[in-house]
């Protein structure tokens, strides 16, 4: 995964004619930390975990990125995802850099008490390296608002009341209105902008979505509300399709009740894997990384792919899709709605003032529209695809901010 991010970065760096030394500076994380987390669990057993935090770049502001709790968590994952966050925050032009981290634990096999203990120990070890003006964690895979609440509480024990140390908190603990659906809303806005460019509207299109969790279900609801037909949805349990458009409210209720889309009565079942090659105008991967590959890219029928998940397209598949004329809205643009509303949460915490939902959605719309059009303009200027354009935009912003802090002339180093 690290090599995929570097590949896309280098594609844009080639267009900009960046030197090797500037590439190295921009690609290398500023700080990489591992901490030992040895705890006695509820059963009296001694358990050992490793905590990671990679702080990639803070040229444009405090670093921002999720905390992932998963047995596969390691430095390589954290490093790749931290870099993506630097480029993502730059694309949407919010005043943050990028970071990522986590713990190599499996929350499904741990009691809440054990999980809280490990989380608090991680914060105690990291307390001098995170903070509202340094590095602000957020939820990611297997972490949620509750875990963010523990982080705020533990950090505040050492540093005093500090809601802005972490985002994605529960509403009653200084979280933000609109955060839950923000990534899905950003996906809908990206799609709307792409359709507008093509002279189309939501009512003209059919959509297939992989993943019906936070991002996929919210994106499906908002896109369907605007008049598009969601003709197929797949998740880890299987797939369900309906040519007339699935009833997303009913499907959501079914998934809450049963845990997955399988056996939903409002459509026909199919094996979830074929969602990537489903006959639809738009494909939205909103589940896993590396799902559009060299093997299936030739069979993708959609003309537009909106990357709601992080890194769903391998570089080889990306090249095949582009060759076939498929338009890809890259992850660092399409799924940036979440980190944008995280920025609003941090802002509200610092202001000690709560914004209404309408204001959140209004500001999110402005940020996403500006980002989309900025990327589209760069694509036209350099005659490149949207992913390369997004990286060009981000590299310029990050590189110039870093150099503006020095006596060096940014124009000499960044095109
Ligand atoms: P989630 O855990 O809420 O949902 C994940 C969905 O993926 C579920 O519907 C699950 O059934 C499905 N899934 C899992 N394995 C699958 C498989 N093998 N085949 C098909 N579907 C499968 O996660 P989420 O928060 O919706 O995140 C989804 C993606 O979006 C991830 O890549 C995440 O990194 C990315 N993302 C999320 C946010 C956010 O704010 N939540 C922000 C940016 C990016």
pLDDT mean by block of 10 residues, the chain; 415 residues: 84 95 94 97 95 98 97 92 96 98 95 97 98 96 94 98 97 96 98 97 97 96 98 97 98 97 98 96 96 98 97 97 98 98 98 97 98 98 98 96 83 72
Q: What is the pTM of this model?
A: 0.96
Q: Would you say the CB of residue 303 lies under 6 angstroms from ligand 1?
A: no
**145 and 169 in contact (C-beta within 8 Å)?**
yes
Distance CA 46, CA 225 (A): 51
Q: Which of 64, 286, 339 has most ligand 1 atoms within 8 Å of its beta carbon, as the pocket-test mutant?
A: 286
Nearest residue by C-alpha to atom 1 in ligand 1: 213
Q: Which of 46, 135, 41, 153 is nearest to 96 (CA)?
A: 135
pLDDT at 1: 62
16: how many CB neighbours lie within 10 A of its CB?
A: 17
Alpha-carbon distance values, 387 to 122, 199, 393, 396 (Å): 35, 21, 10, 14
Cα 288 to averaged position of ligand 1 atoms, centre (Å): 6
Cα 210 to averaged position of ligand 1 atoms, centre (Å): 9
Ordered DSSP codes for 91-126:
HTT-S-EEEEEEES--GGGS-HHHHHHHHHHHHHHH
> What does R_g of the chain's alpha carbons equal in angstroms?
21
Angle between helices 2-16 and 386-404 (to 10 degrees): 80
Nearest residue by C-alpha to atom 3 in ligand 1: 213
Q: Which of 139, 211, 260, 275 has most ligand 1 atoms within 8 Å of its beta carbon, as the pocket-test mutant?
A: 211
Nearest residue by C-alpha to atom 5 in ligand 1: 213
Domains of the chain, start order: 28-164 (3.40.50.10860), 182-334 (3.40.50.720)
Closest ligand 1 atom to Cα of 237: 11
pLDDT at 410: 74
pLDDT at 403: 83
Q: Would you say the CB of residue 12 lies under 6 angstroms from ligand 1?
A: no
User: Which of 88, 100, 169, 229 does the annotation list as catalytic?
Assistant: 100
Closest ligand 1 atom to Cα of 183: 40
Closest ligand 1 atom to Cα of 215: 26
Closest ligand 1 atom to Cα of 212: 9
Cα 382 to averaged position of ligand 1 atoms, centre (Å): 33
Closest ligand 1 atom to Cα of 260: 11
Q: Which of 172, 217, 169, 212 is nearest to 341 (CA)?
A: 169
Cα 353 to averaged position of ligand 1 atoms, centre (Å): 31
pLDDT at 239: 98
Closest ligand 1 atom to Cα of 289: 32
Beta bridge partners of 50: 36
Nearest residue by C-alpha to atom 17 in ligand 1: 236
Q: Would you say the CB of residue 338 lies under 6 angstroms from ligand 1?
A: yes
Q: Would you say the CB of residue 209 lies under 6 angstroms from ligand 1?
A: no
Distance CA 207, CA 318 (A): 20
Residues in the chain: 415
Record the tokens describing residue 246, joined without a space.
Answer: 């699935």
Distance CA 119, CA 165 (A): 14
Q: Would you say the CB of residue 214 lies under 6 angstroms from ligand 1?
A: yes
Q: Would you say the CB of residue 143 lies under 6 angstroms from ligand 1?
A: no
Q: Would you say the CB of residue 206 lies under 6 angstroms from ligand 1?
A: no
Say whether 100 is catalytic. yes
Q: Would you say the CB of residue 210 lies under 6 angstroms from ligand 1?
A: yes
Distance CA 166, CA 66 (A): 9
Q: Would you say the CB of residue 190 lies under 6 angstroms from ligand 1?
A: no
Q: Would you say the CB of residue 178 lies under 6 angstroms from ligand 1?
A: no
- DSSP-derived letter for residue 354 is P
């Amino acid at each position: 995964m690290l090599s995929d991010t570097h590949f896309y970065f280098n594609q844009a760096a080639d267009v900009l004619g960046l030197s090797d030394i500037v590439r190295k500076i921009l690609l290398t994380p500023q700080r990489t930390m591992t901490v030992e987390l040895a705890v006695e669990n509820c059963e009296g057993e001694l358990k050992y975990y490793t905590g990671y935090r990679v702080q990639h770049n803070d040229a444009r502001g405090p670093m921002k990125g999720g905390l992932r709790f998963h047995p596969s968590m390691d430095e390589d994952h954290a490093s790749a995802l931290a870099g993506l966050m630097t480029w993502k925050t730059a694309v949407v032009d919010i005043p943050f850099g990028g970071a990522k981290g986590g713990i190599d634990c499996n929350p499904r096999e741990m009691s809440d008490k054990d999980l809280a203990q490990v989380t608090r120990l991680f914060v105690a070890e990291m307390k001098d390296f995170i903070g509202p003006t340094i590095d602000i964690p957020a939820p990611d895979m297997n972490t949620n608002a509750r875990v963010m609440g523990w982080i705020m509480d533990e950090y505040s024990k050492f540093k005093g009341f500090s809601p802005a140390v972490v985002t994605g908190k529960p509403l009653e603990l200084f979280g933000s209105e609109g955060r839950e659906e923000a990534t899905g809303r950003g996906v809908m806005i990206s799609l709307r902008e792409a359709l507008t460019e093509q002279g189309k509207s939501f009512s003209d299109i059919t959509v297939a979505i992989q993943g019906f969790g936070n991002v996929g279900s919210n994106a499906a609801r908002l896109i369907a509300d605007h008049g598009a037909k969601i003709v197929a949805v797949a998740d880890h349990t299987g797939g369900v399709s309906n040519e007339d458009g699935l009833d997303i409210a009913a499907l959501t209720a079914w998934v809450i009740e049963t845990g997955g889309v399988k056996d939903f009565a409002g459509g026909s079942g199919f094996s979830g894997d074929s969602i990537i090659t489903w006959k639809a105008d738009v494909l939205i991967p909103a589940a896993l990384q590396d799902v559009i590959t060299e093997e299936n890219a030739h069979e993708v029928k959609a003309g537009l792919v909106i990357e709601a998940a992080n890194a769903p397209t391998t570089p080889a598949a990306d090249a095949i899709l582009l060759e076939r004329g498929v338009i890809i809205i890259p992850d660092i643009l399409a799924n940036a709605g979440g980190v944008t509303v995280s920025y609003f949460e941090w802002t509200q915490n610092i202001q000690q003032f709560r914004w209404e939902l309408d204001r959140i959605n209004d500001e999110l719309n402005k940020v996403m529209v500006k980002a989309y059009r900025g990327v589209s303009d760069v694509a036209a200027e350099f005659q490149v695809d949207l992913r390369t354009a997004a990286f060009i935009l981000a590299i310029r912003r990050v590189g110039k901010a870093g150099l503006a802090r020095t006596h060096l002339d940014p124009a000499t180093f960044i095109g």
